[in-house]
Structure formats: structure tokens, C-alpha cells
Amino acid sequence: MRLDKYLAEAAIGTRKVVRNYVKNGLVMVNDETILEPASIIDETKDVIIYKNRRVISEGRVYYMFHKPAGCITARKDDNAKTVLEYFHQIDTGGLFPVGRLDKDTEGLLFFTNDGEFDHRLMDPESHVPKTYFFWAMGELNSEKKDKLEKGICISEEEPLTLPAKVKQVQSGFFSELESELEKDMDKKIVLKKNAGEQAVFSGYLTLTEGRKHQVKRMLKAVGCHVLYLKRVAVGPVTLDENLKRGQYRSLTKEEIDILENAEGQM
């Protein structure tokens, strides 16, 4: 195995980061300083030392995380809490999120130290579907639904969105559905005066691409305003209902295998 790959899988850092560690002489193999990140090692026999500490790799790791709203998908930030701050019991050195969710979006987010896994799921050419549950102000008639599903313009500088799937769950006035919305959001909603008379609806939107703020922009393009957004599935793998906001667990072997073959399964 390549030395940089071994170090990354041992959560010492990303492949890019550990290459610099090696080049800077911070890594030893069998008491010899190695300066070439691509050096081949025998992970079953060789002794790898980083900063006077033996490195033992447990191999590739994969986690499912229930991202809460209010934290950002980043390794570190001076002004906001990051998703990695929820991983208290493991070394997050080589761990990174697979894709990202907006600060105010919650739901399913994977973490791994496997770059190939990340590429398979996030490569635009793979068209791996992502499903979001939402609440929005406005109304969704058949014409709007048809536009969302066939492709819609969300910016003059961008092509039409790719075909999507839309499923409406509930619809009515805000005053009628306020308790349902607040139950999903787990907080009190404060809107402007007479908001109770405004139409709201909930539903699922499944995409095979990942443009910035895409769900919000697509619904805005048909005159609707997103109040709440939660990613509930990537490919055929859904968010574990037993995971509370901020909790995580390892992916099962079955889930990993499914995700590795999730291309274009909308």
C-alpha cells in the first residue's frame, strides 16, 4: 500500500495533508525517515511512526451522520460550529464529509476517509439521487410540479435543472399545518402577521445533481419559499430514524455496498 494512503486511512489527515507531512520528514518507516509519499509499505509488517507515535490504521471508515441545522459542513470555522465538532469519540484527522449540506439544512450526511467512495457519490457524472423532505410556503399545482420534474431555469447563467421527482405530502393553510411543521423542525415558527392565512405544503424532492442551494432555488422558481429542508436519502440509503440530530453511527457493510452501486438509481 502507498504510504500516503495508509496515513490517510489511519485518520492522520487527508491525502493532500499527509503528503506534506511525509515530504517534511515527519514520517518514519522502520526507523528510516521517508520523504516520498508514494513509497510502498507492507502495512502488516512495517512500523510507521508519525511525530514519535506509531500509526495503526483500521482501514477505511464510513459514518452516517444526522446533521442538525445551524452547523456548517466544514472541518473548522472561526465563527460557527462545524459538523466535525459532533464526532467526540473518534480521531477525525483523516475524516471528511461526503458532499455538503447548507447551514440551515439538516439530515443525512456521510463521513469517510475513502476518497474513491466520495468521488463515486459526488461526481456529477454519477447522477446519484439525493432525496430531500421540505416544507414550503406557496402552492404546488400540476403545472409547477411538471416544471420541477422536467427541468427548470434557476439562473440565466446555468442550464435547466436535470429531471427530478416531486411528491407532495400535505397542503393547506399555515394555521392548519403549523403544529406539523413545528414538529418536524422541533422549534416554534414565528412568521409575519396574517401568516396563518398563507398556503403551505410539504413534500419530497429527489435530484441527481447538486448545485448550490438547488432545492430552495427550484422551489423559488415556481413561486414557493422553503421553510424547512432535510436530506433523508442518498441513493437507496435512508437516514436512520434512530439517529437524533448530532448523532452518528458506522455504515453497515450492506449500506456501503449499496452506495458503491448507487449510480443513477432515481
In the numeric block, the cell 492522520 is attached to: 12
Q: Which residues contact 31 (CB under 8 A, 6 or more apart)?
A: 47, 49
Partners of 59 in beta bridges = none
Q: What region, left, alpha or beta, does residue 248 occupy, with left being phi > 0 and alpha being psi -120 to 50 degrees?
A: beta
Helix (H, G, I), strand (E, B) or coil at 3: helix
- Identity at 121, one-letter amino acid code: L
Residue among 221, 235, 175, 177 nearest 203 (CA): 177
Please tell me the distance from the alpha carbon of residue 256 to that of residue 154, in angstroms, as a whole number: 33
Burial of 54 (0-12, 13-18, 19+ CB in 10 A): exposed
**Dihedral over alpha carbons 17, 18, 22, 24 (to 10 degrees):** 30
How do strand 62-67 and strand 48-50 relate by DSSP bridges?
Answer: unpaired
First to last CA, the chain: 36
Whether 102 is catalytic: yes
**Could you say which of 4, 102, 118, 146 is catalytic?**
102
Reading the block at residue 213, the C-alpha cell is: 442551494
> Which residue stretches of 10-141 are H helix?
15-23, 115-122
Check: CB of residue 73 under 8 Å from CB of residue 109: yes
Active site residues per annotation: 102
